[in-house]
Structure 1
Amino acid sequence: MSLNNYNDNNDDDRPKTPLDEDCCGSGCIPCIFDVHKTLLKEWESRKTQNVKVKTSNNLLSPLSYKVFIITDISETSEDYFLVYLKYSECETKNDINLYIEPGQHVILHSWSKSRPYTPISWTCNSLVFLVKLYKQGEFSSRLKNASIGSAIDIRGPYGDFKYKSNSFRQIVMFSIGSGIAALYPITRSIVDDETEFTRIHLIAGFQSVAQVPLKKELRSLADYWNFKCTIQLSQLNGILLNHIITSKFIIKLHA
C-alpha cells in the first residue's frame, strides 16, 4: 500500500481521517481505519524527511468506497463465475483512471457484508472478478444472483506486491481453486510485455475438470512462447480431456 497511488483530491495531501460511519462493521481486512493509520504513518515519515508525496488521479481510493454497477454475470465453470463491474458515473474525467497493480485486491461491499477479491482484468473504469460460489457462502450466493444494474461498493487497491520486469529467468506459480485469480493478471502482464524474457509455469489445483475456470484464457496464454500451464486434478469424473490438452496446457490426475 503506498501513497504514490493515493489521491485525496485536496490541496492538503495528508490522508483524510475516515468518519465513524465509514466503517461498515463487517470486520474487513484491512479495516478502513487500519488503512488510514498505514497511510498516515507513511505520510508523516515522508514529511519528516522533506520528501514531497506524489499523488495520482486514481479512480479507486483505499479510504472511501466508490460505487460500481454490475453490467454482466457469466459462468466460467462449475462453481465459478465472472462478475463485470463498471464505475457508476456515466463519464470519468480525462485525468482520472482506474489504477491497480496486477495481483492487488480490493474490498467489495454490499448486503451489509464485505469481502476481498482480486480482479483478473480491468480498464480505465471497469473491473472483472473471478468468484467461487460456496454452498454456504452468503456473499458469493448473493453476488451470483444479483440483478444486472445492481450497485456494489468498492475500495482499494491493497497489497504491496509489484513485479519488476525481467527480475527472474523463470517463475513457477502455484495456486489452489480461486487462488488463480491473483496469479492470472500477473501472468498476463508478463506475457503481454514484448520486452519480457521471463518464463512462467503456472501449476493450478482443482477438484475436477468441470471446476477449472478461465479455460479459454489459459489456452490463449499457452500460445505465448514463455508460458506453460499444468492443471492438477483430484478426480477426472470420466470427462474426456483431449479437447483442452496441448503440449503447454497439461492436465494431470493427482493420486
Structure 2
Amino acid sequence: MSNDSYVKDILPPKPEAPLPSDCCGTGCSPCVYDIYEEDLKKWKKSCEQLKLDDSPKDQQAIISTNKFTSVKLIGVTQITNNTFIYQFELPEKTCLCLQIGHHIVIKGILDNKGKMSTIISKLSIGDQIEIRGPYGSFKYQPNSFKRLVFLAAGTGIAPMFQIIQQILKDEEDMTRLHLMYSSKSFKDILLREELYKISVILEFHSLSLS
C-alpha cells in the first residue's frame, strides 16, 4: 500500500477550478476565482500537514498490511528506568509513513508466559525484526470537536502526544485540549520537557502514583 493511497481518504477532495462560464465578469467580490484560490490554499495546507501533495514523492512506504517487512536495529536509547527508544534502519528513500493514531505490528514468537517486551529487550544492534502495517481507523479532522480530553498512563502518552502536536501546530484549529497523564513516579514521566513547553497552552496535569 503506497502512502498516497493510504492517506488520501483522510484529505478533503482537491478543489476544482471554476470554468470561465462560472465567472459573471462583473467584478463581484468574492469572485468564484477568489473562492477557489482560498479553498486551494486550505487544501494544500492539509496536504502539507500530512506530508502529502499531488506531486511525485521522494519517499515510498516500506510497510504493507499484506506482508511482513524486515528492518534492522541500529540504536537503543534508555529514557527512563524501564522505557527505551529503539531505532531501526529503513532502506533509502523509504519511510513508515504512519499517520496520527495509527500503528504497526511486530512479529514475534511467544511462549505461554512470554511478553513481546521481553523479546524486544533481548534484541542486539544489527538484529532484524519483522513489521507489518499500518493499522488503525482513527482520523483526526481539525475543529471536529470544541474540546478534547486525553487520559493517558505510562507509554500511553505517545499516541495522545501525536494528536496534541497536530492540533497545536495548526493555527486554524481552535480545539481546546485537556490532558490527564499518570505515571508511577515523577522520574518515569515520559515527554516531560515537551509537555512542560506546551503547558502554557495545554491544561496539563501530571498524576504521580506510588
Alpha-carbon separation, structure 2, partners of 1:191 and 1:86: 29
Q: Determine if the alignment matches structure 1 residue 178 to structure 2 residue 178.
A: no
Q: Which residue identity lines up with residue 144 of structure 1 in the other structure?
A: S
Which residue of structure 2 lines up, in the alignment, with residue 234 of structure 1? 209
Does the residue aligned with 2:131 lie in a helix, a strand or coil? Answer: strand
In the comparison of the two structures, how many residue pairs are matched? Answer: 156
Cα gap change, 1:221 to 1:84, in 2 (>3 Å): farther
Runs of 5+ unmatched residues, structure 2 = 8-56
Which residue of structure 2 lines up, in the alignment, with residue 103 of structure 1? 101
Contact persistence 1:73–1:82 (CA under 8 A): yes
The one-character-per-residue Cα deviations of 1:128-156 (angstroms, maximum 9, x if unpaired) are xxxxxxxx864313323422222121111
Alpha-carbon separation, structure 2, partners of 1:201 and 1:98: 29
Alpha-carbon separation, structure 1, partners of 2:144 and 2:133: 26
What's the RMSD between the two structures over aligned residues?
Answer: 2.8
Shift of 1:107: 0.3
Shift of 1:106: 0.8
Does the residue aligned with 1:162 lie in a helix, a strand or coil? Answer: coil
Cα gap change, 1:97 to 1:202, in 2 (>3 Å): same
Most deviating of 161-170 and 78-87: 78-87
Which residue of structure 1 lines up, in the alignment, with residue 193 of structure 2? 216
Q: Which residue identity lines up with residue 79 of structure 2 in the other structure?
A: T
Alpha-carbon separation, structure 2, partners of 1:169 and 1:139: 38
Q: Determine if the alignment matches structure 1 residue 5 to structure 2 residue 6.
A: yes
Q: What is the TM-score of this pair, normalised by structure 2?
A: 0.64
Does the residue aligned with 1:166 lie in a helix, a strand or coil? Answer: coil
The one-character-per-residue Cα deviations of 1:17-44 (angstroms, maximum 9, x if unpaired) are xxxxxxxxxxxxxxxxxxxxxxxxxxxx
Shift of 1:97: 4.3
Moved over 6 A (4+): none
Alpha-carbon separation, structure 2, partners of 1:165 and 1:212: 28
Q: Residue 138 of structure 2 is aligned with which of 161, 164, 184?
A: 161
Alpha-carbon separation, structure 1, partners of 2:176 and 2:98: 23
Q: Residue 184 of structure 2 is aligned with which of 176, 199, 207?
A: 207
Instruction: Give matches, 1:111-130, under 5 Å.
Output: 112-113=109-110
Contact persistence 1:202–1:230 (CA under 8 A): yes
Shift of 1:64: 0.9
Q: Residue 152 of structure 1 is aligned with which of 129, 132, 142?
A: 129
Runs of 5+ unmatched residues, structure 1 = 7-55, 114-135, 236-255
